[in-house]
């Protein structure tokens, strides 16, 4: 049975909690947290990214997150809290659901980069 993007987002939002920038800052301060910018490279180049975040475009996330693959990024560990963000939160929700399916337990959606920037969150400039 065919599905729509709206249905995919509803399913993702049901399993990946949305958090505020303040909640994200608290999680980051506690440590053992990976922040992942899943936007495309031109988006990151134009605006910068959350300070300390790892940039992995949405299309490469599975290949970087799966420890069974040679392309695995060692920043990804299933015992870490993972916070994802994108331009508005949709890609982050879908990516978060995928990470949950790969066995990551603590996965959160920060939403859009703009939300972080407007809240005064630290940014690594391009």
Proportion of the chain above pLDDT 90, given as a percent: 97
Of the options 3.40.470.10, 3.40.250.10, 3.90.25.10, 2.60.120.10, the CATH number for the domain spanning 15-124: 3.40.250.10
- Average pLDDT, stretch 20-47? 97
Across all residues in the chain, what is the average pLDDT?
A: 96
Query: What region, left, alpha or beta, does residue 75 occupy, with left being phi > 0 and alpha being psi -120 to 50 degrees?
Result: alpha
Using only the alpha carbons of the chain, give its radius of gyration: 14
User: Which of 27, 36, 56, 86 is flagged as catalytic?
Assistant: 86
Written as one string, the DSSP assignment of 73-124 is -TT--TTSEEEEEESSSHHHHHHHHHHHHTT--SEEEEEEHHHHHHTT--EE
**pLDDT surpassing 70 at residue 101:** yes
Q: What is the model's pLDDT at position 43?
A: 96
Q: What is the model's pLDDT at position 126?
A: 83
**pLDDT surpassing 70 at residue 1:** no
- The reply to whether 86 belongs to the active site is yes
Q: Which tens digits make up the pLDDT trace of 76-95?
A: 999 999 999 999 999 999 99
């Amino acid at each position: 049975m065919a599905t729509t993007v709206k249905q995919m987002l509803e399913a993702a939002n049901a399993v990946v909690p949305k958090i505020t920038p303040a909640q994200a800052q608290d999680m980051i301060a506690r440590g053992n947290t990976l922040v992942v910018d899943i936007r495309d490279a031109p988006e990151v180049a134009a605006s910068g990214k959350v300070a300390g975040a790892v940039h992995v475009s949405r299309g490469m996330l599975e290949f970087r997150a799966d420890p069974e693959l040679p392309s695995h990024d060692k920043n990804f560990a299933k015992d870490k809290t993972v916070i994802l963000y994108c331009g508005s939160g949709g890609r982050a929700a879908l990516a978060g659901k995928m990470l949950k399916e790969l066995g990551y337990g603590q996965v959160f959606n920060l939403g859009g980069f703009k939300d972080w920037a407007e809240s005064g969150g630290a940014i690594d400039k391009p």
